[in-house]
């Protein structure tokens, strides 16, 4: 009787210790995979979890939060034989704790290895231009392959992002030259297109000015105003010879002073050419102004011999031996 009385407190203490050791608290993002005598029962949690004490039931905690796995830089060769170094990051999480414990020894290490090999395989099947320009498509292909491989382990791959693509210096220089040449090509095409459009506008403006010659003088005066605004020390002001036509006509008696004048017809505007007699009068006036005229020239002019006057003018000006 005394022995049982002595054992009762010990048994009670042992029961309290066993009860306390069988209680577990799991956070909201944790699940506990329970094994009873080595056999999988089920996953429990979150909250307070009770286990059969004295090693009958054992539990392994599993984290259900998303894990960011950094893939080490991988040296690969693209489909068009360009060597490059690619690194990426994989986001995954455990959706079935039981399979993540039973089906694979270390799901984190296994996912890392599959991610590395898949990244190298996909990059090796893609060309460099595709790898640079279609990165989102490459990311989706890698994610789908890794997710398919890890699905039997209870792992879900949510996203894969290629962080950096490191190219050799020679390839970077070649790509820089290509980009520079492309920019120059675009610049030349744009400049040529601008010249083409400007030439069309200039041709239209020339057609209008040909119908209204005074518009050319107005445009000339506008140009002079623009030049004068630049604070130039010297401004060349060309004077149209058409302004001297009335004076030449008065001095020589030739209509328009020998310059082509409008005949007043509609449309493009016609001109009256200078005849032989009027040309002879201009030649005689030029010889007289130069002091190279002679009595024979005046006699030929009065006789209406225009050919003789033109011959004398050419000989006096040294245009004919």
Instruction: Give the pLDDT of residue 269.
Output: 43
Distances (CA, A) of 81 to 76, 172, 188: 9, 15, 33
Helix, strand, coil in percent for the chain, rounding step 5: 55, 20, 25
Instruction: Give the pLDDT of residue 215.
Output: 77
pLDDT one-digit tens code per residue, 25-37? 899 999 999 999 9
Instruction: Give the pLDDT of residue 287.
Output: 58
Question: Is the pTM here over 0.75, yes or no?
Answer: no
Q: How far apart are CA 301 and CA 295, in angstroms?
A: 10
Residue with tokens 């070649």: 174
Q: How far apart are CA 298 and CA 231, in angstroms?
A: 52
Q: How far apart are CA 312 and CA 288, in angstroms?
A: 12
Instruction: Give the pLDDT of residue 204.
Output: 87
Instruction: Give the pLDDT of residue 303.
Output: 55
Q: How far apart are CA 115 and CA 142, in angstroms?
A: 8
pLDDT one-digit tens code per residue, 91-150? 999 999 999 999 999 999 999 999 999 999 999 999 988 888 899 999 999 999 999 999
Instruction: Give the pLDDT of residue 156.
Output: 95
Q: CA neighbours within 13 Å on the CB side: how many for 77?
A: 2
Instruction: Give the pLDDT of residue 148.
Output: 95
Instruction: Give the pLDDT of residue 211.
Output: 81
Counting as low any pLDDT under 50, the low residues of the chain are 1, 263-272, 319-321
């Amino acid at each position: 009787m005394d022995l049982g009385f002595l054992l009762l407190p010990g048994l009670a203490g042992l029961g309290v210790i066993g009860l306390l050791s069988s209680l577990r608290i799991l956070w909201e993002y944790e699940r506990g995979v329970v094994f009873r005598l080595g056999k999988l029962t089920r996953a429990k949690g979150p909250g307070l979890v009770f286990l059969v004490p004295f090693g009958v039931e054992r539990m392994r905690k599993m984290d259900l939060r998303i894990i960011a796995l950094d893939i080490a830089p991988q040296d690969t060769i693209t489909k068009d034989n360009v060597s490059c170094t690619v690194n990426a990051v994989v986001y995954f999480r455990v959706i079935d704790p039981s399979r993540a414990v039973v089906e694979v020894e270390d799901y984190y290490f296994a996912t890392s290895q599959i991610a590395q090999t898949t990244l190298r395989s996909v990059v090796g099947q893609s060309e460099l231009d595709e790898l640079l320009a279609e990165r989102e498509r490459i990311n989706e292909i890698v994610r789908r392959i890794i997710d398919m491989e890890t699905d039997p382990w209870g792992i879900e791959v949510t996203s894969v992002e290629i962080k950096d693509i490191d190219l050799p210096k020679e390839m970077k220089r070649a790509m820089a030259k290509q980009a520079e040449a492309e920019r120059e090509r675009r610049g030349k095409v744009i400049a040529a297109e601008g010249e083409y459009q400007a030439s069309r506008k200039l041709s239209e403006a020339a057609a209008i000015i040909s119908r209204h010659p005074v518009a050319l003088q107005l445009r000339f005066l506008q140009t002079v105003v623009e030049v004068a605004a630049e604070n130039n020390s010297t401004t060349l002001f060309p004077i149209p010879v058409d302004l001297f036509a009335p004076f030449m006509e008065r001095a020589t008696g030739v209509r328009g002073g020998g310059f082509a004048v409008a005949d007043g017809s509609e449309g493009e505007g016609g001109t009256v050419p200078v005849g032989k007699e009027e040309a002879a009068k201009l030649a005689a006036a030029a010889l007289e102004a130069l002091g190279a005229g002679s009595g024979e020239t005046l006699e030929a002019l009065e006789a209406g011999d225009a050919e003789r006057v033109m011959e004398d003018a050419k000989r006096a000006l040294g245009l004919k031996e």
